[in-house]
Chain A
Amino acid sequence: MAKELTPQEMLRIDLSPPTQDWMDIPVEIKPGIYCYPAKPEKLEIVGMPNAHEWNPLDEDWNLPEGWKETFLEGMRERLDKHRTFKIFMDICVRCGACADKCHFFLGSGDPKNMPVVRGELIRSIYRGEFTKAGKILGRLAGGRKLTEDVLKEIWSYMFQCTECRRCSLFCPYGIDTAEITIIGRELLNLLGLNINWIQEPVANCYETGNHLGLLPHTFVQNIEFLLMDIEEYVGIKIEPSFNRKGAEILFITPSGDVFAEPGIYTLMGYLMIFEHIGLDYTWSTYACEGGNFGFFTSLEMAQRLNAKMYHEAERLGVKWILGGECGHMWRVVHQYMNTFNKPVPTMEEPVSPITGTKFENAKSLKMVHMSEFTADLIKHGKLNLDPSRNDHYKVTFHDSCNPSRGMGMFEEPRYIIKNVCNHFYEMPENTIREQTFCCGSGSGLNAGENMELRLRGGLPRANAAKYVHEKYGVNMLANVCAIDRAVLPASMEYWCPDMQVAGVSELVANALIMEGEGPRTMNLRGEEIPGMAPAEEESEGTEDV
């Protein structure tokens, strides 16, 4: 188990696979690597099929009758529905370019975590069950039959992939393992084989609107607590609105930021920025989740959860939606939402009410990323900033997988950070921008029981962070992703203990000079800002701190 392994022990990784044929290596479901199975009632809430009790460590998974036909029929259906899947089953040449691009392979040395093998797990079934050559020649044609052991192997490795798409960047044919994992997980979900860390948020999100299952009043209260903190540290009283009809903009962010450190500081940042510019916006307790764990279940489930955003925007009569900092939320919003939903006629092409900037790149979807919005504010001089308040931070930026390889948002957050921080250092070039490494816990794998897997998968990112920590003294890992904020602290604590983690909007708000603010001696975390302690001669306002 992870807790017993020191980083030195964890680093004993052999990246050379055995000489054995991979089909001959039996699957092993290991504690620390696997996640607990979905509780049947969490599947039933959203009407997903074959909910049943089972334990991945047991020999018998209580598979539903006819499971094999269900899986293969599901595969056939998806081959007909997704050109990606069909082509990716046919054209991989196994050149190996992707092999050492996966953070799970680099951190574990498990050769089946090489993206090509992850794909082959399913491609071998495709060949063995769907192609003539594979049916006749079997293994000679790279085919195998779907057995219980094969199914367990697929389950194990579909939940050791964070759908980060780093491998797809390097693939000469653009084969996207995320696409294979998405479909692989859909097939497993036909048999009720999800993990609970994904399914429970899905069920919660479906009913309460957010992953945590916060009821409407709790959601509001949590934000009110943060407003009290802002009042204490900044001296500004903010009164945002909830479910308000007629607001110009609906703001939606991942619910993790409402609830847990350090995401809450990012959320405080949003509140302060909006207050400062006098934005006419509202929160929603109904559509209060930016993230979408449905995406880690099936595309249909992703669509069902995503539908709430437009539904609420239409009900409230807002012109457009502003989206907070989140990784997979933006993959879904940017690449899927405009296809999942029919357009809402009452919405308008997004224009910043503060700068007048038309967000042409979002004119059809009508949803703008917080970093795009903030960068535009800064460019137009609409934020008064004192970057020296962040001088105790030496900052680097972790590009989240999804906004990087599923959107291409690299410059906006960097522009913001450089305007609100005086000390910014990039991590090595093979670990940032489109080549960025996953935090190691994305796509719903941020559970507690699979901590060893998370730490192993987090190694390449943490290793690059450690490099800039040792070279430049970097102590702050900035990012635009709620899962990053939730999981990188654990990874950093293990691999690079002096590194803190923050959302970009937190750093903005630290530097933001607000009208009527009190003496800013504290940052949003309630920590004294070094060098900002009240000077002797002007200490009257801060004596009671």
Chain B
Amino acid sequence: MGIIVSLGAVLAIMVVAWIGGSISGLQPIFGVLVPYAAFAVFLVGFCRKVVDWAKSPVPFRIPTTAGQEVSLPWIKSAKLDNPSTTAGVIGRMFLEVFCFRSLFRNTRADLRSGYLYYSPSKWLWLFAIGFHYAFLIIALRHLRLFVHPIPGFVETLDAVDGMFQIGIPPIYLTDLLFVGAVTALLCRRLFLSKVRFISLPADYFPLFLLLGIGITGLLMRFVFRVDIVSVKQLANGLASLHPTVPDNIGSIFFVHVALVSTLFAYFPFSKLMHMGGVFMSPTRNLANTNRMERHENPWWTPPKFHTYAEYEDMYRDLMKEAGLPLERE
């Protein structure tokens, strides 16, 4: 059910944008209003979510320790997997955010003739990191449409990404990687029974959305060629806050823009917020210094406990008989 609804929603967005984009009077809505609104929702929503998280304190220091602690001077500690310094935490977070360290640990367990076997399983890591980096590079490459003059690093990225010069216009490696990785992530959800079991509409929807973005992007480049000069004019206009809508852009462009806008607007209210959350996860971003330094809990209240005096009052005779020292005879 989740699959059909999610796919249906994405297709509906595409159809509406296609129709809207082909009616010239509606083009300002789909080319200007929708992207602006979506971006605003994204910015405001993202910040509000992060602020909302930050409002809840971290009462306890609970890093998941994944290596040897700092203890005796002759025992080597795991500086990144069990950091005890800020530098170590930064290192751990760098590996987490840029290399997907925890995901790289992944194993699969199989039960065969009474024995459990564990083997490294890097597919999820590979698809995930492939998708994220491809997406990042594609997003950066798109800056050439928004910024004038085009920054040098964007030119370099473009050149490297398109270096194989396959076909005309040359196909970008990241485009293939993006569509391939998103497809692979989708296939996991569709065909692996465990992943399918846990998948919700909220898991299929962004994947279809991303796939739609990738495919419409490729279509614009290779099939329904859009006028790149007009696209650039529109994008530049958006970025400089003087939007104009040139009249000869193909409808497919508006479909692409609508899907990207949906992604932006949907982002703050969805699991995609893991982008912000990963930085704030207390099991990863805290140093394991619990016994070295005190960590305050802002809502700390003094414990109501059974004091020694109460205990002695309760058991004085028994304690006396057992020859235990007493505070009061």
List residues of A whose CB falls within 8 A of some B CB.
7-8, 11, 13, 15-19, 21-22, 79-87, 90-97, 99-101, 106, 111, 114, 116-117, 120, 131, 133, 140-142, 165, 168-176, 179, 206-209, 215-217, 220-221, 242-245, 285-286, 299-300, 303-308, 311-312, 315, 334-336, 338-341, 343, 357, 359-365, 367, 372, 375-376, 379, 404-412, 415, 428, 430-431, 434-435, 459-460, 463-464, 467
Taking CB atoms, residues of chain B closer than 8 Å to A343 are: 294
Evaluate whether A168 and B283 lie within 8 angstroms (CB atoms) in the complex, with A13-B111, A315-B308, A407-B65 already known: yes
Interchain nearest-CB distance for B168 vs A (Å): 38
Taking CB atoms, residues of chain B closer than 8 Å to A168 are: 64, 283
Is the Cβ of B56 less than 8 Å from the Cβ of A86? yes
Interchain nearest-CB distance for A364 vs B (Å): 5
Taking CB atoms, residues of chain B closer than 8 Å to A243 are: 324-325
Choose one: A133, A305, A367; the contact of B291 (CB below 8 Å). A367
Enumerate the 6 nearest inter-chain pairs by beta-carbon distance, A residue then B residue, closest first: A408-B69, A217-B322, A91-B277, A408-B65, A430-B118, A174-B283
B296 at interface, CB cutoff 8 A = yes
Interchain nearest-CB distance for B296 vs A (Å): 7
- Docked pose: A259 CA to B33 CA in angstroms: 74
Choose one: B49, B188, B269, B280; the contact of A83 (CB below 8 Å). B280
Nearest opposing residue in chain B for A379, CB measure:
B74
- Docked pose: A340 CA to B71 CA in angstroms: 22
Evaluate whether A11 and B111 lie within 8 angstroms (CB atoms) in the complex, with A83-B57, A286-B311 already known: yes
B288 at interface, CB cutoff 8 A = yes
Interchain nearest-CB distance for A99 vs B (Å): 5
Taking CB atoms, residues of chain B closer than 8 Å to A84 are: 58, 62, 281-283
Is the Cβ of A141 less than 8 Å from the Cβ of B274? no
Nearest opposing residue in chain B for A21, CB measure:
B1
Can you give 28 A-B contacts (C-beta < 8 A)? Answer: A13-B111, A80-B56, A87-B281, A90-B271, A94-B199, A96-B194, A99-B194, A106-B109, A106-B116, A133-B269, A141-B202, A168-B64, A170-B102, A172-B102, A172-B103, A174-B281, A339-B61, A343-B294, A360-B73, A363-B291, A364-B293, A365-B290, A367-B291, A376-B72, A406-B62, A407-B69, A411-B75, A430-B118
- Docked pose: A63 CA to B98 CA in angstroms: 48
List residues of B whose CB falls within 8 A of some A CB.
1, 5, 49, 52-62, 64-78, 81-82, 84, 96, 100, 102-103, 105-111, 114-116, 118, 124, 128, 188, 192-203, 269, 271, 273-274, 277-278, 280-284, 288, 290-297, 299-300, 303-308, 311-312, 314-315, 318-319, 321-322, 324-325
Is the Cβ of A364 less than 8 Å from the Cβ of B292? yes
Is the Cβ of A285 less than 8 Å from the Cβ of B319? yes
Is the Cβ of A308 less than 8 Å from the Cβ of B306? yes
- Docked pose: A434 CA to B78 CA in angstroms: 11
Taking A172-B103, A307-B305 as given, write out 13 further A-B residue pairs in contact, using a Cβ cutoff of 8 Å, ordered by the A residue number.
A16-B194, A18-B197, A92-B274, A96-B192, A100-B109, A141-B202, A174-B64, A339-B294, A361-B291, A363-B291, A405-B66, A408-B66, A412-B71
Evaluate whether A100 and B108 lie within 8 angstroms (CB atoms) in the complex, with A173-B277, A174-B281, A216-B315 already known: yes
Is the Cβ of A94 less than 8 Å from the Cβ of B271? yes
Taking CB atoms, residues of chain B closer than 8 Å to A82 are: 56-59
Taking CB atoms, residues of chain A closer than 8 Å to B201 are: 140-142
- Docked pose: A536 CA to B271 CA in angstroms: 75
- Docked pose: A372 CA to B102 CA in angstroms: 28
Nearest opposing residue in chain A for B102, CB measure:
A172
A-B contact count (CB 8 A): 315
Taking CB atoms, residues of chain A closer than 8 Å to B82 are: 408
Is the Cβ of B62 less than 8 Å from the Cβ of A94? no
Nearest opposing residue in chain A for B104, CB measure:
A172
Is the Cβ of A372 less than 8 Å from the Cβ of B72? yes
- Docked pose: A5 CA to B298 CA in angstroms: 50
Is the Cβ of B197 less than 8 Å from the Cβ of A111? yes
Nearest opposing residue in chain A for B315, CB measure:
A216
Choose one: A81, A117, A174; the contact of B56 (CB below 8 Å). A81
Is the Cβ of A96 less than 8 Å from the Cβ of B198? yes
Is the Cβ of A217 less than 8 Å from the Cβ of B269? no
Is the Cβ of A412 less than 8 Å from the Cβ of B102? no
- Docked pose: A94 CA to B52 CA in angstroms: 22
Is the Cβ of A96 less than 8 Å from the Cβ of B280? no
Evaluate whether A244 and B124 lie within 8 angstroms (CB atoms) in the complex, with A22-B198, A83-B280, A339-B59 already known: no
Taking CB atoms, residues of chain A closer than 8 Å to B124 are: 95-97
Choose one: A175, A406, A463; the contact of B116 (CB below 8 Å). A463
Choose one: A141, A209, A216, A361; the contact of B322 (CB below 8 Å). A216
- Docked pose: A357 CA to B71 CA in angstroms: 11
- Docked pose: A405 CA to B284 CA in angstroms: 12
Interchain nearest-CB distance for A342 vs B (Å): 8
Interchain nearest-CB distance for A382 vs B (Å): 14
Evaluate whether A405 and B64 lie within 8 angstroms (CB atoms) in the complex, with A142-B202, A174-B284, A362-B292 already known: yes
Evaluate whether A100 and B194 lie within 8 angstroms (CB atoms) in the complex, with A87-B277, A91-B274, A172-B100 already known: yes
Interchain nearest-CB distance for B203 vs A (Å): 5
**Looking at A8, A172, A339, A463, which has the most chain B CB atoms within 10 Å of its CB?**
A172
Interchain nearest-CB distance for B97 vs A (Å): 10
Interchain nearest-CB distance for A10 vs B (Å): 10
Taking CB atoms, residues of chain A closer than 8 Å to B296 are: 339
Taking CB atoms, residues of chain B closer than 8 Å to A97 are: 102-103, 106, 124
